[in-house]
Amino acid sequence: MSEITKQSLTELVENIKNKKLSSTDVTQAFIQRSEKSSELNAYITDDFTSALDKAKKFDQNPNLDLKLPGIPMAVKDLFCTKNVKTTAGSKILNNFVPTYESTVTENIWNEGAILLGKLNCDEFAMGSSNETSHFGNVQNPIDKNLVPGGSSGGSASAVAGQLTPITIGTDTGGSIRQPASFTGIVGLKPTYGSCSRYGIVAFASSLDQAGPMAQNVKDCALLQEVISTYDLKDSTSINFKRNHYSKELTKNIKGKKIGIPKEYRVDGMPKEIEDLWQKGIQYAKDCGAETIDISLPHTSYALPTYYIVAPAEASSNLARYDGVKYGYRAKGENLIDMYEKTRSEGFGAEVQRRIMIGTYVLSSGYYDAYYLKAQKVRKLIKNDFDEAYKKVDAILTPSTPSSAFKIGEKTNDPVSMYLNDIFTVPVNLAGLPGISIPAGHDTKGYPLGLQIIGKAFDEQNILNIAFAMEEKINFKNKITDWWIK
């Protein structure tokens, strides 16, 4: 048996079920590795003592019928966890301890998993490099001073660095897929309405989705099976027939039609991304799928549309952080002064930038020109996909226009930072599922990902395609443990 922390979720579940490993063994192993990995800064809050207690308790009377029996896992610090501090990566929630549990994490604990801790992320999930976190940037296990992507940067780093076997992130414009791509792991953004948003600190309500991040497609499928439930506490949760994703997973994708959208060949895209894409097309064909050139004509409008819709919703969603009820409060001369100081001191620069953009685009006199128009374009983008899906079963694109960049490289250039999400954002705008799988390395040896976009509620199909291609790609993540002393 290989080292515990190197095992996939599927292997760990197997070994716990066969009693080759106890939950305590596994939990202990991940805690030890996590403790040695402080250099990555993947955790904001750890819950190791409690995790070990829970593992011991599990072992005393193990319920091996559960899907995640005694499996330890850390989660993005955007999920509210009962009695465990939840910060959303922000100073403004620095001291916030929820009295309630998000539906998604509740589902996970109900299947036997154990919370290891809360993982670093960009402040309120606003960022593509995990550099906007109040709790400092996260290191990519791939290389020193490399960003892990964002906003689920801590999550990606923790899975790639084997600090947790699996995790959950949230994806508003690419926040699961982009960091998955940057760290060489698998990340799924489910269909909007698939996973409940109840108890997740909101960024942009019409775009936010929780999703699994794992070392391989099968683990990802299993976790998706656990977290995706219909929830009456979220009015946008959708009641549809959810598959047993892991059980129904198949590599047989013969005859599947996969669209290749020409508009994703953007100006200035590095050759290695183009090459990766071409290789991906070949892998898909090797798996028996058929590739078809398609057009998604409004793709170039996706990013500007996203940067109107998402900040607009965020400016309103973040209004509740006002120092009155919970979280950080600055002293002020009067109510307005207290608001201004609390929010100036409590929010970081990127969050403030987006609140200002959002406030602007919703202002009277600008609403029609920006917000309303963006909503119309959003509809056109969705229509593009609907048209395409008359001809194809899924769409294949690169996950990101580049590999991971250095810490600090783009912090002063927000637009170049925003361009990171160019391939992932349209998927959120259309509410579709998308998965990023590691598919190769660039010249520096950094991982690169491919994205498979599916029809709404068709997670099974893209998981199958990813599962089949994963075997052909046979990706090996180059983790040197450079951060462990």
Partner 1 sequence: MNKKNTEYLINRKDNQYEVVIGLEVHAQVLSESKLFSSSSTKFGAEPNTQVSLVDAAFPGMLPVINEFCIKQAIKTGIGLNAKINKRSVFDRKNYFYADLPQGYQISQFKDPIVGEGKVILDMPNGQKEVGIERLHLEQDAGKSIHDLDPQNTFVDLNRSGVALMEIVSKPDLRSPDEVNAYIKKLRSIMRYLGTCDGNMQEGSLRADVNVSVRPKGSKEFGTRCEIKNVNSIKFMQMAIEYEANRQVDLIEEGKTIDQETRLFDTKKNETRSMRSKEDAHDYRYFPDPDLLPLEVSEKFIEELKNDIPELPDDKKKRFIEEFKLSHYEANILVSDIDTAKFFEEVVAKMGKNKDIKLAVNWITGELFALLNSKGLEISQSPVSVKNFAILINLIKNGTISGKIAKTVFELMIDGDKDPQKIVEEKGLKQQSDPKALEALIDKIINDNREKAIEYKQGKEKLFGFFVGQAMKASGGKANPQLINEILKKKL
Rule CB under 8 A: say whether 197 interacts with partner 1: yes
426-to-166, 323, 352, 358, 384 alpha-carbon distances in Å:
26, 35, 24, 19, 10
Amino acid identity, position 325: K
User: Is residue 240 near partner 1 by the rule CB under 8 A?
Assistant: no
Q: Using the rule CB under 8 A, is 235 a contact of partner 1?
A: yes
From the list 96, 109, 230, 482, which residue makes contact with partner 1 (rule: CB under 8 A)?
A: 96
Nearer to partner 1, 85 or 472 (CB): 85
Q: Name the active-site residue from 54, 67, 76, 410.
A: 76
**Smallest separation, CB 80 to partner 1 (Å):** 5
State the nearest-atom distance from the C-beta of 197 to partner 1, in Å: 6
Token readout for 161 is: 């660095």
Residue 93 Cβ vs partner 1, minimum distance, rounded to whole Å: 7
Beta carbon of residue 152, minimum distance to partner 1 (angstroms, whole number): 16
Among the listed residues 325, 331, 390, 485, the single contact to partner 1 using CB under 8 A: 325
CB-based contacts of 288, cutoff 8 Å, min separation 6: 252, 253, 254, 255, 256, 468
Out of 233, 244, 406, 444, the only residue in the binding site for partner 1 (CB under 8 A) is 233
Omega of the bond prior to 151 within 30 degrees of 0, cis?
Answer: yes
Please choose, out of 37-45, 271-279, 316-324, 440-448, the segment that lies near partner 1 by the rule CB under 8 A.
316-324
102 binds partner 1 (CB under 8 A): yes
Neighbours of 80 (CB within 10 A): 23
Based on CB atoms, which residue is closest to partner 1, 22 or 375? 375
Which window, 140-148, 151-159, 239-247, 355-363, contacts partner 1 (CB under 8 A)?
A: 355-363
Q: Catalytic: 175?
A: yes
47 versus 101: smaller Cβ distance to partner 1: 101
For CA atoms 15, 20, 24, 26, the dihedral sign is: negative
Shortest CA distance to 382 belongs to which of 431, 309, 436, 419? 431
Q: Is 199 in the site for partner 1 (CB under 8 A)?
A: yes
Beta bridge partners of 168: 212
By beta-carbon proximity to partner 1, the closer residue of 100 and 240 is 100
Comparison of 193 and 433: residue with beta carbon closer to partner 1 = 193
Count CB-CB contacts under 10 A for residue 96. 17
Residues 371-390 interacting with partner 1 (rule: CB under 8 A)? 371
Q: In whole angstroms, give the CA distance from residue 264 to residue 281.
A: 14
Coil, helix or strand at residue 418: helix
Is 151 noted as a catalytic residue in this protein?
Answer: yes
Shortest reach from residue 191's CB to partner 1, in Å: 15
Contacts 24+ apart (CB under 8 A), 317-323: 317/202, 317/203, 317/204, 317/205, 318/124, 318/347, 318/351, 318/355, 321/90, 321/92, 321/93, 321/346, 321/347
How far apart (Å, rounded) are the C-alpha atoms in residues 198 and 205? 11
Distance, in Å, from the CA atom of 394 to the CA atom of 391, rounded to the nearest integer, reads 9
Catalytic residues: 76, 151, 175
Residues that bind partner 1 (CB under 8 A): 79-80, 86, 88, 93, 96, 98-100, 102, 197-202, 204-206, 232-236, 312-313, 315-316, 318-320, 322, 324-326, 335, 339, 359, 362-364, 367, 371
